[in-house]
Structure 1
Amino acid sequence: MANPTTARIRFGVIGAGAIGAIHMETLNKLADVAELKAVTDTYLPLAEQRATEYNIPVTHASPEALLADPELDAVVIAVPNQFHAPLTIAALEAGKHVILEKPMAIDSAKAKEIVDVQERTGKTLIIAQQMRFSGLARAVKAVIDEGKLGRIYNVKSGWIRKKGIPGWGSWFTRKELAGGGPLIDIGVHMIDLALHFMGGPRPVSVFGTTYAEFGPHKRGTGNWGTPNWEGTYDVEDLATALIKLDNGATLALDVSWAAHAADMSDEPFIHLMGSEGGISYVGNTAKFITHVDNEVVTTEIAPLDDSNERELLARHFIQSIQDGTTPISSAISGYTNNRILDAIYESSETGNQVKLNWN
């Protein structure tokens, strides 16, 4: 295996679907630090197609064959959620560093298994929460880190898509493969980014509810993914929750794939309220608000730059390998997100608040 401090990191990609292709395109843009050398997929013709598209020299017949390849230092895992844990564990135990697509796992028990193996092997693992790396998100975090918000005590986060159910009847809408609907798909982004802005407090209790008003009737479908109209839809299409954190703050979450939501933006949003100021982050804009001489003053927050967020995530991952440091989107952060997701689903099923023990 190459010495990561002196050579480019050599990557393989497991999963040649749409997300896998995005990672391939990203890695090919990082030729100074990365080399894309292998790909595999359960549908081998698709892997061969991607190999041609992205100039990948080796197409492996299986994930097992790819993970046994001594010419690879790291792998990207971009497969349905059900397979995140077994493939990540196998990769770590094979001595590979891992970029793992979100969510970390289909549930928190599987996420905890990944955490345990990552800690035992010492390999670098990053969860692909690329929203943390956008120029605007980094600018917002810089304002927060300067202390301009004071104590952040209340946050509202979400992503309300009005007509965006992906791949109706495919793995996206099957609970056994995906683990859930918009909550585990896009909600995990909003939980992750909100907690990142808040400084990483731990959740201590969760109350939530999920609904399925569109998907079971084949309504509200979007353009992502390939539908299978003979398939199954047994996940939610909207989720709402209130999360209490160990520092006393609260995080409210609302996400949907489909909803009759008039006058609500389709863009992801986070509204941070602090003792000294607040930030409203919606889509590609952000504003800082505070009181000066008893008057409300609002100023725009400009992105730090226009760098590609996925390229920055990959560079951060590679730098973490070289430095032996923990990525900011770490295994523990992914596990925390999974615990919140599980608690929301449990709360919806039972109608009760779910308390989380971190001992």
Structure 2
Amino acid sequence: MRPVNIAVAGAGVIGRAHMAVIAKNPQCRLSAIADPSEAAQALAQEHGVPWYATLEALLAKALPNGVILATPNALHVPQALQCIAAGVPVLVEKPIAHTVADAQKLVYATQTRSAKVLIGHHRAHSPIMRQAKAVIDEGRLGRLVSVMGSAMFYKPDDYFTQAPWRREVGGGPILINLIHEIHNLRMLCGEIVEVQAMTSNAVRGFAVEDTASITFRFASGVLASFMVSDTSASARSWEQTSQENKAYAGYDDEDCYVIAGTVGSLAVPTMRLKTYATPEDRSWFKPYQRSTVALQREDPLRLQMDHFIRVIQGEVEPLVSAHDGLQNLLVVEAIAQAAASQQTVRFSER
């Protein structure tokens, strides 16, 4: 079978990461790059592929089998709509859109045109997440009760000087980082129906938050508490505990989630499992049976690419749909609203 031709729009950090994954995958090949920068033009020459200043020019010249949108958030929906109009499957990097209204437009277009749209929440493809979900679905924890989660790390000063927009509203860890966690929590616990939140910018003093504390209620009745901070000298984040992205230092003695049920609990990603030997005789005085759930770590970006190829070929439906992307963005918006108003935000009231 011939390799699938995939074009990448956006030659920033995540766009280059996708290009690197494509280069290592024999099932696909990089067919073109769309980005107005001179650096992107040089990158296209380096890869030996055509360069276009705009996605529109790329689509007008030669239709690829698929397009990856790694462009600024505000361009995600208009460019995805261009791909849909051209009949080209598209992988849209997270978040799905800059606003909920734009995301709703893309969901509508996807549904009415039966378009192939995959949203780039790549952790959905992680074997760690797959194993954690399996433990829950098998009932090994009993009925889910609560989740404690964290995304605490320290971003260096040059992270903000290189991209000053990260200091402004919309550039903080809630939208950039927490949206990943929201999708993870929805995968593990179901739909979120209520949020409470507090934010702080006391350390960095930017217009946007640097730390947030959030409480979630799920439709199942599960409650979750979550801390996110980009100014905490802590290893309790997915990047530093999962060891999936080798750009980050890894710590195999730390977890970023603890999922607890009525029979046991699972720490993720160390996958340490504690369960009662006799569910009928549960007590905090009783010892737990302790074990570790086996797993094999793999790069979720690579697995996402394998999945996108299958979506292009019509073999599977997108694991993370446009509707999923919208739901994640709705939760982010609810968190911002809850933090600003200091009121509980219930989705049934929105």
TM (normalized to structure 1)? Answer: 0.84
| Count of matched residue pairs | 325
Q: 1:320 to 1:150 in 2, by over 3 A?
A: farther
Counterpart CA distance in 1 for 2:91 and 2:174 is 21
> For 1:157-192, what per-residue CA distance to the aligned partner results, in whole angstroms no more than 9, with x for missing partners?
22101344663152551546xx24101111111111
Of 29, 35, 44, the residue aligned with 1:51 is 44
Q: Tell me the residue number matched to 2:249.
A: none
Of 259, 268, 271, the residue aligned with 1:286 is 271
Correspondence 1:184 to 2:178: no
Counterpart CA distance in 1 for 2:146 and 2:4 is 41
Residue 90 of structure 1 deviates from its aligned partner by 2.1
Structure 2: gaps of 5 or more residues: 239-255, 279-285
> For 1:49-81, what per-residue CA distance to the aligned partner results, in whole angstroms no more than 9, with x for missing partners?
22234x242101212112334331211111222
Correspondence 1:267 to 2:237: yes
> For 1:184-236, what per-residue CA distance to the aligned partner results, in whole angstroms no more than 9, with x for missing partners?
111111111121122xx2222111122112333xxxxxxxxxxxxxxxx5321
Query: Does the Cα contact within 8 Å between 2:36 and 2:52 map onto a contact in 1?
Result: no
Q: Tell me the residue number matched to 1:246.
A: 219
Q: 1:331 to 1:56 in 2, by over 3 A?
A: farther
Correspondence 1:277 to 2:277: no
Q: 1:171 to 1:92 in 2, by over 3 A?
A: farther
Q: Tell me the residue number matched to 1:123.
A: 115
Q: Tell me the residue number matched to 1:40.
A: 34
Counterpart CA distance in 2 for 1:36 and 1:121 is 26
Q: Secondary structure in 2 aligned to 1:168?
A: helix
Which range moved further: 61-70 or 181-190? 61-70
Counterpart CA distance in 1 for 2:320 and 2:349 is 19
Q: Tell me the residue number matched to 2:25.
A: 30
Q: 1:319 to 1:61 in 2, by over 3 A?
A: same
Query: Does the Cα contact within 8 Å between 1:93 and 1:117 map onto a contact in 2?
Result: no
Q: 1:175 to 1:104 in 2, by over 3 A?
A: farther
Counterpart CA distance in 2 for 1:273 and 1:66 is 49
Counterpart CA distance in 1 for 2:149 and 2:8 is 32
Q: Secondary structure in 2 aligned to 1:204?
A: strand
Q: Tell me the residue number matched to 1:221.
A: none
Q: Tell me the residue number matched to 2:283.
A: none
Query: Does the Cα contact within 8 Å between 2:160 and 2:167 map onto a contact in 1?
Result: no
Of 177, 181, 194, the residue aligned with 2:185 is 194
Query: Does the Cα contact within 8 Å between 2:66 and 2:312 map onto a contact in 1?
Result: no
2:341 alignment partner AA: T
Residue 306 of structure 1 deviates from its aligned partner by 3.7
Counterpart CA distance in 2 for 1:241 and 1:148 is 27
Report sequence identity in percent: 27
Q: Secondary structure in 1 aligned to 2:107?
A: helix
Q: Tell me the residue number matched to 2:199.
A: 210
Counterpart CA distance in 1 for 2:18 and 2:148 is 30
Query: Does the Cα contact within 8 Å between 1:205 and 1:354 map onto a contact in 2?
Result: yes
Query: Does the Cα contact within 8 Å between 1:174 and 1:234 map onto a contact in 2?
Result: yes
1:338 alignment partner AA: L
Correspondence 1:74 to 2:69: no
Q: Secondary structure in 2 aligned to 1:68?
A: helix
Query: Does the Cα contact within 8 Å between 2:150 and 2:236 map onto a contact in 1?
Result: no
> For 1:303-323, what per-residue CA distance to the aligned partner results, in whole angstroms no more than 9, with x for missing partners?
2x3432111111112212323
Query: Does the Cα contact within 8 Å between 1:84 and 1:105 map onto a contact in 2?
Result: yes
Which range moved further: 317-326 or 348-357? 317-326
Q: Secondary structure in 2 aligned to 1:271?
A: strand
Query: Does the Cα contact within 8 Å between 2:186 and 2:192 map onto a contact in 1?
Result: no
